[in-house]
Amino acid sequence: MNKRQQGFTLIELMIVVAIIGILAAIAIPAYENYVAKAQFTEAISLMSGQKIPVTNYYTENDTCPVSGTTTGFLAADLDLGKYVASVADGGTASAAGGCTITATFKTTGVNAGLSGNSVVFNMHIPSPGAPIEWTCSSTDISQALMPQSCTGT
């Protein structure tokens, strides 16, 4: 009498577990980078809200506003987000621009690659009469964690 087998063998189960482990080893770091980029975009959003007021102030006064000391510009610690601790305006005015907007990430509740680090928008005037341009940079944060809009690629 032939008895029909039911279920999976131990080898088949081990192969499935190994495949799931390999997929997880690839997916988890990619997901962490995705989360870091999403957290980074909060900083870009908060800084973008400052670009027009800083540009207007510079064109009217030929100097850069400084957070907390220039009338109409809040102190740096008042611009808080879920992942961003502060957004500050500053820089040194020059013929090429020079004003900056700096966002500093919180030290807790943020991706480890962003924690406590800063990202800066730099104002540039390519030539007299040319439109003002803003570039995004960071010396502390890995390019892999920065969104494409901030890496220039």
Q: What is the pLDDT of residues 57-101, one digit of tens each?
A: 888 888 888 887 877 777 766 657 899 998 888 888 776 678 899
Name all domains of the chain by residue range, CATH numbers in brackets: 10-151 (3.30.700.10)
Tokens for 110?
A: 């943020």
Task: Give this prediction's pTM.
Answer: 0.78
For 8-63, how does the pLDDT look when each residue is reduced to its tens digit (9 = 90+)?
A: 889 999 999 999 999 999 999 889 889 999 999 999 998 888 888 888 888 888 88
Residue among 144, 140, 83, 139 at smallest CA distance from 110? 83
Q: Write down the pLDDT at residue 2.
A: 64
Q: Is the pLDDT of residue 152 over 60?
A: no
Cα distances (Å, whole numbers) of residue 139 to 46, 115, 124, 144: 19, 13, 18, 13
Q: Are 22 and 63 in contact (CB under 8 A)?
A: no
